[in-house]
Amino acid sequence: MSIFKDKQYLRVNVDKAPDDSLWMKCKACGELVFKRRVRENSNICPSCGEYFFLTVEERIEMLVDADSFDNISKSIEADDPLHFVDRTSYQDRIEKAQGLTGLPDAIVVGRATITQSPVVLAVMDFRFIGGSMGSVMGEQICHGMETAIEDRCPFILVSSSGGARLQEGLFSLLQMAKTAAVRAKLAEAGLPFISIMTYPTSGGVQASIASLGDIIIAERGAMIGFAGRRVIQFTIAQELPADYQTDAFAFEHGAIDRVVQRANMREELSSLLGFFVEVA
């Protein structure tokens, strides 16, 4: 744990990837693509348009004014209240994920500006146990909203999560209630909450805080929904349409406000925030 002892766990570590090869194979189209071109293209396959995951650092870099991000995450980590062990222990999963991501848990919160407008921004990292929401994520989201209330500025949450963190049992489930309760305070304070859903926004995160945005924006290519395909087939054996839980499906059925290309997201936020300048 020594590497997390100071609060400098968030490094914008573009070059941290262990694989230094110049080329990568796109999982979607199978093409060998030049890594630098992928990066320059907002981490989207230049050949087929497939969106690749963004790390927290990449996502933040892509959304906010250069060098404006100030990490204000609480200095906390999971403490395994159930002493959960399945095929491996939760403790081990946490350590592995911390080693992999350089993050204490699956979310980072900070102050930043977007075209000079101050915001509080919270970003999830799917690489950290599927971006799952346990006690730490719940606390960090609430901390983010409370900071936005203190600062009287908008709160932006970028979700990338499979849902609740199973290894914390009911503690995880109750984070849905916790984040909803604090979200109500943000509304009482009259401050806007912009929820950005990326691939994937599902389960307990989609069924709580992510769906409570004043404005909900999906990144193109997002997967949005409550119960995954496997669950449906397992529980009620229903045939699923091809567009099931896609951004288009959510939009078509009125669950979200807008769908935005990744490369346009900063501009999108910038113009949206412009409407709320007088509020904050």
Partner 1 sequence: MSDERTLDLLETKIEELKQLNAMDGIDLSGEITKLEKKLVELRRKLYSNLSDWERVKIARNPKRPYALDYIKLMFDGFYEIHGDRMIGDDRALLTGLAQLDGRTVMLVAQQKGRTTEENKERYFGMTRPQGYRKAVRAMKLAERFSFPVVTLIDTPGAYPGVESEASNIGGAIAESLLAMSQLRTPIVSVVIGEGGSGGALAIGLADRVLMLENAVYSVITPEGAAAILWKEKDRSQEAAAALQLTAEHLLQLGLIDGVIPEPLGGAHKDFAMTVAALKPSVVGLLDELRSLGIDELLDARFRRYRAVGSFRELGTSHEASSSDEKVSSENEADAAIISNDSPDA
**Window 14-73: residues binding partner 1 (CB under 8 A):** none
- The CA distance from 129 to 85, in Å, is 15
The two three-digit tokens of residue 254, written as one number: 């009125």
Please identify, using beta-carbon distances, which residue of 30 and 87 lies nearer to partner 1.
87
C-beta separation of 196 from 160 below 8 A? no
- The CA distance from 97 to 220, in Å, is 27
Binding mask 94-133 for partner 1 (x = CB under 8 A): -xxx--x---x---------------------xx-xx-x-
Binding mask 243-272 for partner 1 (x = CB under 8 A): -xx---xx--xxx-----------------
Binding mask 147-186 for partner 1 (x = CB under 8 A): --------------xxxxxxxxxxxxxxxxxx-xxxxxx-
Binding partner 1 by CB under 8 A: which of 40, 70, 92, 150? 92
Question: Which amino acid is located at 209 in the chain?
Answer: I
- The CA distance from 193 to 123, in Å, is 14
Reduced to 3 states (helix: H, G, I; strand: E, B; else coil), residue 81 is coil
C-beta separation of 104 from 73 below 8 A? yes
Q: Which residues ranging from 219 to 238 are in contact with partner 1 (CB under 8 A)?
A: 225-232, 234-236, 238
Smallest gap from Cβ 184 to partner 1, in A, equals 5
**H or E stretch including 247?**
helix 247-252
C-beta separation of 49 from 33 below 8 A? no
Please identify, using beta-carbon distances, which residue of 16 and 36 lies nearer to partner 1.
16
Binding mask 48-67 for Zn ion (x = CB under 5 A): x-x-----------------
Please identify, using beta-carbon distances, which residue of 91 and 261 lies nearer to partner 1.
91
Binding Zn ion by CB under 5 A: which of 3, 14, 28, 76? 28
Count Cβ atoms below 10 Å from residue 228 Cβ, excluding itself: 17
C-beta separation of 224 from 200 below 8 A? yes
Please identify, using beta-carbon distances, which residue of 37 and 266 lies nearer to Zn ion.
37
Q: Does 240 sit near Zn ion (CB under 5 A)?
A: no
- The CA distance from 231 to 195, in Å, is 25
What is the binding site for Zn ion (CB under 5 A)? Answer: 26, 28-29, 45, 47-48, 50
